[in-house]
Amino acid sequence: MKDKEQKNVKSRELFDKLRNTKVGWFNLKTRLTMLVLAEALVFILIAFGLSSLITMVFPSFEKVPLFVQIAVLSLIAIGVATRLFSRLFFDPIKKLREAMQKVADGDFSVRLETEGSPREIQEVYAGFNLMMEQLNATEILQTDFVSNVSHEFKTPINAIEGYTTLLQGCDSLSEEEQEYVEKILFNTERLSVLVGNILLLSKIENQSIQTNKTRFRLDEQIRKSIVVLEPAWEKKNIEIDAELDCVEYTGNENLLHHVWDNIIGNAVKFTPEGSEVKIRLFKENGIITVTVDDDGPGISELAKKHLFEKFYQEDTSHKSEGNGLGLALVSRILTIYAGDIDAENRPEGGCRFTVTLAAN
């Protein structure tokens, strides 16, 4: 934390120093103007020389008026030179745009090198770096706050859930009271899952290395997830069509369990009664691929853009069945393993989730 505070102070000092330093008349605008004028003058002289050289080689070229020769040759030369010189002024803007795109994708660790750039570009870069330090500090504060509050919630939620479970077995409760107890138990279980997911997500987002790695079979792990979800798909009379090749993988087995539980659970959730969920696992050319197909309503274009964001839920009719953290967890877990997840609508209807991992 002290290192981050020191970086923040250094960024602030550099930004203030650059901002308070007077540029004078020789600023970026003046330099650009002088460069353009010098470029025009130099290439007019070069064009004049080229015109004389071409006339010596091709005497017929002399019939073209001199000013036309110089104008054409100057425009060609200036166009080529401007293309080359423009990189000096527009490459820093391109770097800034690329850095801003990374920020838009949620990467608050990106920084821009201020050394070796024009004075005005240094000031812009220093301001950007300072902004990123502040955003990163806010993100850390928010994450720590959510993690600490969620952790404090666990004890009272577990207590409520425990006492409610005891009440559920009482014979003295009326039918109406029994219904109230079941609702309390249902909602405390939802809260418990939500808190657990928030804590896990917070842990994953702050995890920079893979831990607790073991060698295990992915096909067996996916089968376990299918078995765990059996009450849900049997209740809806859904048929599970699974074709799983024998594939071994080295990683955190508990973390990857969350990936399959969430993806298969979502497929079961959105698939109509009496339909089918298809699951495929195979390895080809060093890439492990898992696909999960459902017969649900598919995904809108708007939902595709926000599908892996925290707390996003497009289908409000299923809000009571989830908390919008499942796919965000899946995305973060796969990021740790340099994996990827993609969602697309199938031509025949429904949705397909595809997970890819590098074989190891």
Buried b (16+ CB within 10 A) or exposed e, 112-132: bebeebbeebbbbbbbbbbeb
Render pLDDT for 59-99 as a digit per residue (tens, 0 to 9): 766 666 766 666 776 677 667 766 766 666 677 888 888 88
With a CB cutoff of 8 Å and minimum separation 6, the contacts of 254 are 212
Residue 237's pLDDT is what?
93
The identity of residue 193, as a single letter, is V
**Rounded average pLDDT over 123-143:** 75
Angle at 118 between CA 114 and CA 119, to 5 degrees: 80
Residue 108 to residue 102: CA distance in whole angstroms: 8
Q: What six digits make up the tokens of 268? A: 């079961």
Q: What six digits make up the tokens of 149? A: 């509050």
Is residue 268 within 8 Å of residue 236, measured between CB atoms?
yes
Residue 94's pLDDT is what?
83
- Between 14 and 284, the more confident residue is 284
Percent of the chain whose pLDDT exceeds 70: 69
Q: Is the pLDDT of residue 19 over 90?
A: no
Residue 230 to residue 121: CA distance in whole angstroms: 59
Render pLDDT for 205-243 as a digit per residue (tens, 0 to 9): 665 445 678 899 999 999 999 998 998 899 999 999 999
Is residue 271 within 8 Å of residue 296, measured between CB atoms?
yes
Q: Is the pLDDT of residue 191 over 60?
A: yes
Q: In this structure, what are the phi and psi dihedrals at residue 174, rounded to the nearest 5 degrees?
A: -75, 170
Residue 17's pLDDT is what?
59
Render pLDDT for 134-154 as a digit per residue (tens, 0 to 9): 777 766 666 666 666 666 777
With a CB cutoff of 8 Å and minimum separation 6, the contacts of 271 are 236, 238, 277, 294, 295, 296, 350
Residue 124's pLDDT is what?
80
**Rounded average pLDDT over 27-51:** 69
Q: Mean pLDDT: which of 10-14, 103-107, 285-289 is highest? A: 285-289
